Structure 1
Amino acid sequence: MLITLCHDNKGGIVSRLLAPLTRKALIKQTSRLPIDIQVEGINLRCQFTDNYSEKKFVFTPWRYDRAERQILSQALANGGTFIDIGANVGLYTLTAIAAMGSDKGRIIAFEPNPVTLTRLLFNIEANPQFEQSNIRVLDHGIADEETSFFLHLNAGNLGESSIRGSDSGPETVPHPGNSRQGVNIRCRPLLPVLSELGIDRIDALKIDIEGAEDLALTPFLDAAPDALLPRLLIIENSEKQWKTDLFQTIQSRGYSLVGRNKMNSVFQFRSGYGH
């Protein structure tokens, strides 16, 4: 009941005052975690203690990418193909499949972190009201080549786990004296993966991989034909960690910036724009 009171879509005064108190009270009751809950028609199992995305979506939904998720839902209202790179526990993936409804659609979700991958798969199964056959989950990441990386895990916020640590190149194992926790993950370039899956059109693509977006998208944008470029592109603002100007690359391929906030930028592809 308290969580329901937090769900003022505009983040009114009651929600803003109640949300942090409710969140703190629940998270302290570790014996009750994880909890199963439905938010915006999506069933989730949430741990809360180690994933900010879960906390923001459940307790302060007006703060969790509301504009981006609304744009995504509009883009997929008649079906389509959605690519989710860095799916986490599935909030964008489930938003997309909910938006498609009974229309034909296809979702490819990439999540290489074993912990969040397990939660993603559970959350998908917990939503039998959606067409399960439309979703394909792949347990590897996306990068500029087929290789392995050391994924630096953030135990306090799994959503901030990244292959971009103090050393940003491929890394098979951490140095023995390194106290960082992590796991080796496999990564592949996006273009050959899409070819293997028989995908020839992308209606929307969201990417949030904590500073490695340039590593994943630049080779794809350099080589993909116009017909394969996502019509809608949602990307986390991690330019301070990028080694190349990914925003410039995106715009050079014919995209227009249609929205930007503190967390993300949203681009739309201009059909017929020459490469």
Structure 2
Amino acid sequence: MSTTAERDPGKTQAWGAHAPTGLAGWVIRICHALPGTSRIWYRLTRLLRGPIKRAPVRPFDVNALGMELRLLNRGNFCEMTALYAPQFYDVPELDWLAAQLADGGTFVDIGGNIGLYSLAMAHRLGSRISIHTVEPDAELSARMRFNAEHNGLSINLAPVALSDHEGIATLKIDARQRGQNSLQDGTANGQADTREVPVNTLLALCQSRDITRIRAMKIDVEGHEPRILGHFFDNAPETLWPEALLIEHVHDDNRLMQRLIDALGYVEQGRTSRNLLLSRASTTGG
């Protein structure tokens, strides 16, 4: 069962009402002060955060990623990293995306979670870019909206799931790790920890929002990437294919990465432990 903090993590209170104090404040200050130069320091933040992570779910208002963010202490891996160790949060990926979007354009964030990628790009690049963030989990979307509004950032939220068809599907909620929510075909039929959500294709979403060119896209949808992108590349005009693509590569059972590189003209510009950084061959120098 969701706690009060999960249902409404202080969204009705102004930022600052949940400033960390006592032990939590000390731990977060120490973690934030550690250098981001070595994974040794990151492992230390994981040790230090233990008592706060094991406490009941609650929000903390902190300065992270250059913004004033409200973040929960547990239940969402990316959120915990931003809360306790923002200096280690996907630094290569965010820097690479910002470079791809430096001249402006449209950024599509599929699997937005609480919107950390979208928020970071909006904070860094402002009105130079248009951001469309896809997130079907209403709880995650609500926290994304709070942080965007508090920081005066513009994000166009699409509260739908993406797949290779249009209709209704079931979103299975992972309460222990919200970033691992997964999409299942069909209706919920009373299953516990599930929500029925609208489903669209990426092509239809772009058409409904008059998106005709995608400068950069990030996609992280727990293994559903082949269905989303397979349909998209089979049906979308090449002019709509993203010029830069950040994609999680740890669920590639369908050999999507091979298709992207061998058949669709993408070139690997870098990789991290979880993500590939790809650009179209014709735009590699852009």
Structure 1 residues 156-197: Cα deviation after superposition (integer angstroms, max 9, x where no partner):
010000015xxxxx12025x6x6x521111110111211121
In structure 1, the residue corresponding to 2:89 is in which secondary structure? coil
So what's the TM-score if we normalise by structure 1?
0.85
Aligned pair partner of 2:255 in 245, 249, 259: 245
Structure 1 residues 64-94: Cα deviation after superposition (integer angstroms, max 9, x where no partner):
3221111011112232210001100010001
2:6 match? none
2:140 match? 116
In structure 2, the residue corresponding to 1:125 is in which secondary structure? helix
Give the letter for the 1:92 counterpart: Y
**Aligned counterparts, 1:98-177, within 5 A:** 98-101=123-126, 103-128=127-152, 130=153, 132=154, 135-164=155-184, 170-174=185-189
In structure 2, the residue corresponding to 1:154 is in which secondary structure? coil
In 2, Cα distance between the equivalents of 1:85 and 1:272? Answer: 21
1:30 match? 56
1:75 match? 100
The runs of 5 or more residues in structure 1 that have no matched partner are 165-169
The runs of 5 or more residues in structure 2 that have no matched partner are 1-25
In structure 1, the residue corresponding to 2:183 is in which secondary structure? coil
1:167 match? none
Structure 1 residues 91-147: Cα deviation after superposition (integer angstroms, max 9, x where no partner):
00011112213x43200001101111111111111212x3x2xx2101101110102
Give the letter for the 1:95 counterpart: A
CA contact (8 A) 1:23 1:55 kept: no
Aligned pair partner of 1:225 in 214, 233, 237: 237
In 2, Cα distance between the equivalents of 1:183 and 1:46? Answer: 23
> Structure 1 pair 21/248, CA: closer, same or farther in 2 (3 Å)?
closer
Kindly indicate whether residue 102 of structure 2 is the aligned counterpart of residue 92 of structure 1.
Answer: no
2:222 match? 210
CA contact (8 A) 2:65 2:86 kept: no
1:183 match? 195
In 1, Cα distance between the equivalents of 2:259 and 2:135? Answer: 25
Give the letter for the 1:173 counterpart: A
> Structure 1 pair 12/193, CA: closer, same or farther in 2 (3 Å)?
closer
> Structure 1 pair 197/249, CA: closer, same or farther in 2 (3 Å)?
same
| RMSD (Å), alpha carbons | 2.2
In 2, Cα distance between the equivalents of 1:14 and 1:160? Answer: 26
CA contact (8 A) 1:43 1:127 kept: yes
CA contact (8 A) 1:218 1:249 kept: no
CA contact (8 A) 1:257 1:266 kept: yes
CA contact (8 A) 2:170 2:194 kept: yes
Identity %: 32
In 2, Cα distance between the equivalents of 1:150 and 1:223? Answer: 24
User: In terms of mean alpha carbon deviation, does 8-17 or 40-49 score higher?
Assistant: 8-17
Give the letter for the 1:84 counterpart: D
Q: What is the Cα deviation at residue 235 of structure 1?
A: 0.9
CA contact (8 A) 2:243 2:283 kept: no
In 2, Cα distance between the equivalents of 1:110 and 1:183? Answer: 16
In structure 2, the residue corresponding to 1:84 is in which secondary structure? strand
Give the letter for the 1:151 counterpart: L
CA contact (8 A) 2:249 2:257 kept: no
So what's the TM-score if we normalise by structure 2?
0.82
Q: What is the Cα deviation at residue 14 of structure 1?
A: 4.9
1:265 match? 276
In structure 1, the residue corresponding to 2:282 is in which secondary structure? coil
CA contact (8 A) 2:174 2:193 kept: yes
